[in-house]
Amino acid sequence: MKKSDFNINIDKCSLLFFNSLSEKSKRLYAGLESMKLGYDGVDEIAEKYSIHKHTVRRGKKGTIIRGLIANRAS
């Protein structure tokens, strides 16, 4: 199996996983994935999952807030 085949399989699996999530979970997951990509992550994730950039930004904000709340609780 070539590395490019592996990447295609991972992309298909991540899309299947994304589509199985609730709307709120999709938003948070998209936000988290965009943070992992860094600059232009919002654009890339919005295109990859066919969602609006604003949705990814809301997820990113929600992920950060959840992280801050979890850190305070520890």
Cα 47 off chain centre by: 11
Q: Which pLDDT value is given to residue 74? A: 62
* pTM over cut 0.85: no
Tens digit of each residue's pLDDT (9 = 90 or more) over 9-23 = 888 899 999 999 999
Q: For the stretch 32-65, what's the b/e string if a residue is b when 16 or more beta carbons lie within 10 angstroms of its beta carbon? A: bbbbeeeeebbeebbebbebeeebbbbbbeebee
Burial of 30 (0-12, 13-18, 19+ CB in 10 A): buried
Arithmetic mean of pLDDT over the chain: 87
What integer pLDDT is reported at residue 43 of this predicted model? Answer: 96
Q: In this predicted model, what pLDDT tens digit does every residue of 39-56 receive, in sequence order? A: 999 999 999 999 999 999
pLDDT mean over 26-32: 95
DSSP 8-class letter at 50: T
